[in-house]
């Protein structure tokens, strides 16, 4: 995608360093962050410098490759195994993270060079699959469609193109009249900060809405469909995604609004029977109690926006049962949220 007329991927590796767009600074400032070691990349994942299913997967793959490059000859495997454990502890809900570390680790048993090539391949596949998701998802979008999104599953959340936003970008480029209601997505505001920034950058008509406005919008026929991303999809079709997704799906089902989940096959976890087996990440309460914005001097600052001294819960994800999902938009086409359909597209990857 282009930023100020220049082509960018969300994340890439050059030499032993991993470069990524610093998402904590967006939309106020655009900077590139460099991670020189695998542990630097782990820090970037944990602190959400890089975020989103595909981008986390690419980062994890690159981190695994960095660990292979850094490992000493004596104690090589001990170093690599510890690195793998460190990387996989960064964001435990994200299936793409484990998918990438396992692939790169396996390649690394052949050679370090093979590990680096595998990490690059995973990133390229992510971009390619996101483009295909856009192609298939575009077929669902009519000439005039109002779409509700939650969190960010655009190109910033993947290596390029994105998942939930990829069909929207393709529809817009074809001249379809699309309009996007962007959930702000508390507590970190990925919708208000990242999705809105992307859509504005691509000149896609949109408006930011409070997270709790969805039911009103749907009840008043203002939303034709919902497209969200996913961080892990269980074998039975249950979906872990950003907290607040489940409530949107319940309302959509009640009001007959199609609810689609856009995700590559790498996000499906056949080893996870259902949503009860998905580990839900719990993050710092500071993300709820404080907000980041621009102060009166134009500087990025953190502000307390809650009652001083009150505690907060901060579960990063919730699980939407398969029965609330209309379909999955994948790089292999659109499928129903059925175990046999999921098994079929995942088998094709073997």
Q: In what order do the strands lie in the sheet with 17-21?
A: 11-14, 17-21, 32-35
Number of separate helices (H) and strands (E) present in the chain: 12, 18
* Cβ atoms within 10 Å of 68's Cβ, excluding its own: 26
Give the count of alpha carbons within 13 A of 125, CB side only: 21
Q: Which among 293, 339, 343, 56 is positioned nearest to 192, based on CA atoms?
A: 293
Q: Which is it for the CA torsion 230, 88, 9, 205, positive or negative?
A: positive
Write down the catalytic residue from 126, 183, 211, 231. 231
Q: What is the distance between the alpha carbons of residues 256 and 250, in angstroms, rounded to a whole number?
A: 10
Q: Which residues of 180-217 are buried (b: 16+ CB within 10 A; e: fewer)?
A: bbbbbbbbbbbbbbbbbbbbeebebebebbebeebbeb
The string of DSSP letters for 60-85 reads HHHHHHHHHHH--STTHHHHHHHHHH
Q: Omega before 27 cis (within 30°)?
A: yes
Q: Specify the DSSP class assigned to residue 105.
A: H
Strand residues in the chain grouped as ranges (E): 2-3, 6-7, 11-14, 17-21, 32-35, 144-149, 177-183, 206-209, 225-228, 232-234, 239-242, 259-262, 268-269, 290-294, 300-304, 317-320, 327-330, 333-335
Residue 167 and residue 330 in contact, taking contact as beta carbons nearer than 8 Å: no
Backbone angles phi, psi at 101, to 5 degrees: -60, -40
Q: What is the distance between the alpha carbons of residues 197 and 327, in angstroms, rounded to a whole number?
A: 27
Residue with tokens 């396992």: 102
Find the helix or strand (DSSP H, E) in which 45 lies: helix 38-46
Clarify whether 40 is annotated catalytic. Answer: no
For the annotated catalytic residues, the residue numbers are 231
């Amino acid at each position: 995608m282009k930023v100020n007329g220049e082509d960018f991927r969300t994340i890439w590796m050059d030499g032993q360093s991993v470069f990524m767009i610093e998402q904590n600074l967006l939309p106020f400032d655009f900077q590139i962050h460099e991670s020189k070691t695998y542990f630097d990349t782990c820090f970037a994942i944990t602190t959400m410098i890089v975020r989103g299913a595909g981008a986390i997967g690419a980062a994890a793959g690159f981190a695994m490759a960095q660990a292979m490059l850094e490992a000493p000859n004596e104690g090589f495997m001990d170093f690599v195994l510890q690195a793998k454990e460190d990387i996989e502890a960064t964001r435990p809900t994200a299936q793409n993270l484990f998918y990438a570390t396992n692939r790169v680790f396996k390649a690394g048993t052949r050679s370090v060079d093979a590990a680096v090539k595998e990490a690059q391949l995973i990133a390229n596949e992510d971009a390619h699959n996101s483009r295909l998701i856009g192609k298939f998802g575009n077929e669902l979008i009519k000439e005039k469609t109002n779409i509700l999104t939650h969190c960010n599953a655009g190109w910033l959340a993947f290596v390029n193109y994105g998942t939930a936003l990829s069909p929207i970008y393709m529809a817009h480029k074809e001249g379809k009249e699309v309009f996007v209601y962007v959930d702000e997505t508390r507590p970190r505001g990925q919708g208000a900060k990242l999705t809105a920034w992307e859509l504005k950058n691509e000149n896609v008509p949109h408006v930011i809405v409070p997270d709790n406005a969805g039911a009103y919008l749907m009840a008043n026929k203002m939303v034709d469909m919902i497209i969200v991303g996913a961080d892990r999809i269980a074998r039975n079709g249950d979906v872990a995604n950003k907290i607040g997704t489940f409530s949107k799906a319940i309302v959509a089902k009640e009001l007959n609004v199609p609810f689609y989940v856009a995700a590559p096959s790498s996000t499906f976890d056949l080893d996870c029977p259902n949503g009860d087996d998905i580990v839900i990440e719990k993050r710092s309460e500071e993300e709820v109690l404080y907000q980041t914005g621009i102060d009166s001097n134009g500087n990025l600052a953190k502000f307390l926006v809650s009652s001083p001294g009150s505690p907060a819960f901060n579960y990063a994800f919730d699980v939407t049962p398969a029965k609330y999902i209309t379909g999955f938009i994948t790089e292999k086409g659109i499928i129903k949220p059925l175990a046999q359909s999921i098994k079929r597209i995942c088998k094709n990857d073997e």
